[in-house]
Structure 1
């Protein structure tokens, strides 16, 4: 395939798994992550195993103008991007007032602002393709407020709402927009978010990153609005929408309390 898939947060976890599965389908790849080492290792693996083209860029999306750097790289390479996967993101665990403010605003930059900027920059290019896709990665945390993950859950609710709105705005174009909302996944998220105290609990519900990636890509190619991997996560999202919010929030508070 001539089209390129641009994947942020491609170095590990779900992003890496999606890169591998898209490579199997013959897509060329433009990979973005903070770690150049992770990207180099992944690129070498992909080039050795599949007959595709792979470009990569180490970029910290928490920095201003990082999205423009990614866009300029794609423009410099003149790659025809037909898939944009906004997968980069992370969480911080703890009471809002006790967490470092700069760390929280940095998380907001990655989880929301970079996603918005990349979408805005690449939509004109995606529209030139016969068929194109945007896949934004939210979380099951998007469906309810989560005490001790207050800002993280709010950023993911933003991603979900934005994705649904953008989907309708682009419905008469060649660009399909989907939102992936995974639950607990074996990606290292718990450790990076500082949530070791609930690691054992999360491990009981963890899905494999490859399984989540497979469900995500299948849903994206079928132009689904929302993609929730795992039956338990589907039930959880359904309950959050239909059970009184105060009750759902108390359950979340008890699950993720420090």
Structure 2
């Protein structure tokens, strides 16, 4: 009997990852702030895969979040071998126009919760024959993204933190990976309050959450350091390093600056920026 913990599991990539693990007959511990969709996901996966699914309605930015999470999972620690820290979100807008409170909340969910989960569950994963930790990054981690500033910076932290942790655990039984998706067909753009022009750009390059999850779980169990699903996302992650940062920032800024009309980037640079609406 093996259990997997997945945060941000109510919908999108988190739900799709939970389904991939369920296919492999992992019993599931699911966590999300969206209680209604979380309950529906748990019921659907229980019925479809005949596994045990337990769920917890939880805001990971709450002061007592980690205490509540570990109490919820503690009965299953003996069999918990996969931890997926997927929960996260972003907001589209100028730094000075978004409130400080909501931007700090992004940091609480995308950074503090991910670090806290990694720290809390490493001893649990070490106790297994083999343990797997998957943290969520983004293709936005590989360049500056004006008007999606805090989100992109938080994902740069996720990639750096996960790679550093992976190195520290290189001689252990715990494999650490970072999933960095690009534009994905989820509710991320709506929660991020993105305008229609950005949504239309994202839709042109969307991967399905199911495909991202399939690639993610294959990469996780193969022990990959970074999992970039899809050729375009690999290109979007690495191409910006070959151009001046000011140019990449200008192109990204033109795309993500809140507006009613579409501002098009030069055609020969579009691959460097179009994969950046990473979604959880």
Offset from partner CA, 1:51-104 (integer Å, 9 cap, x none): 321111110012112122111211145552111100000001110000011001
Matched, 1:27 2:14: no
- Consecutive unaligned residues of structure 2, counting only runs of 5 or more, are 259-280
Rounded Cα–Cα distance in structure 1 between residues aligned with 2:256 and 2:34: 29
TM-score relative to the length of structure 2? 0.89
Rounded Cα–Cα distance in structure 1 between residues aligned with 2:168 and 2:35: 35
Task: Report the equivalent of 2:158.
Answer: 159
Show structure 1 runs of 4+ deviating over 4 A. none
Task: Report the equivalent of 1:101.
Answer: 100
Task: Report the equivalent of 2:232.
Answer: 232
Task: Report the equivalent of 1:186.
Answer: 185
Rounded Cα–Cα distance in structure 2 between residues aligned with 1:27 and 1:77: 12
Task: Report the equivalent of 1:247.
Answer: 247
Task: Report the equivalent of 1:3.
Answer: 2
Offset from partner CA, 1:166-195 (integer Å, 9 cap, x none): 000111111101001100101110010000
Offset from partner CA, 1:93-121 (integer Å, 9 cap, x none): 11000001100101110000001011100
Matches within 5 A, 1:168-187: 168-187=167-186
Indicate how the Cα distance of structure 1 residues 78 and 171 shifts in structure 2: closer, same or farther if over 3 A, else same.
Answer: closer
Task: Report the equivalent of 1:128.
Answer: 127
Rounded Cα–Cα distance in structure 2 between residues aligned with 1:67 and 1:42: 22
Rounded Cα–Cα distance in structure 2 between residues aligned with 1:51 and 1:89: 28
CA RMSD of aligned residues (A): 1.1
Structure 1 window deviating more from structure 2 (65-74 vs 55-64): it is 65-74
Contact 2:129 2:173 in 1 (8 A): yes
Contact 2:80 2:124 in 1 (8 A): yes
Rounded Cα–Cα distance in structure 2 between residues aligned with 1:67 and 1:196: 34
Contact 2:176 2:223 in 1 (8 A): yes
Matched, 1:114 2:94: no
TM-score relative to the length of structure 1? 0.97
Contact 2:3 2:76 in 1 (8 A): no
Task: Report the equivalent of 1:149.
Answer: 148
- Matched pairs, number: 257
Indicate how the Cα distance of structure 1 residues 67 and 242 shifts in structure 2: closer, same or farther if over 3 A, else same.
Answer: farther
Task: Report the equivalent of 2:264.
Answer: none
Rounded Cα–Cα distance in structure 1 between residues aligned with 2:243 and 2:212: 26
Rounded Cα–Cα distance in structure 2 between residues aligned with 1:35 and 1:125: 26
Rounded Cα–Cα distance in structure 2 between residues aligned with 1:129 and 1:5: 12
Offset from partner CA, 1:146-179 (integer Å, 9 cap, x none): 0001111000000000000000011111110100
Rounded Cα–Cα distance in structure 2 between residues aligned with 1:183 and 1:79: 35
Contact 1:71 1:118 in 2 (8 A): no
Matches within 5 A, 1:208-227: 208-227=208-227
SS at match of 2:93: coil
SS at match of 2:83: strand
Contact 1:143 1:237 in 2 (8 A): yes
- Consecutive unaligned residues of structure 1, counting only runs of 5 or more, are none
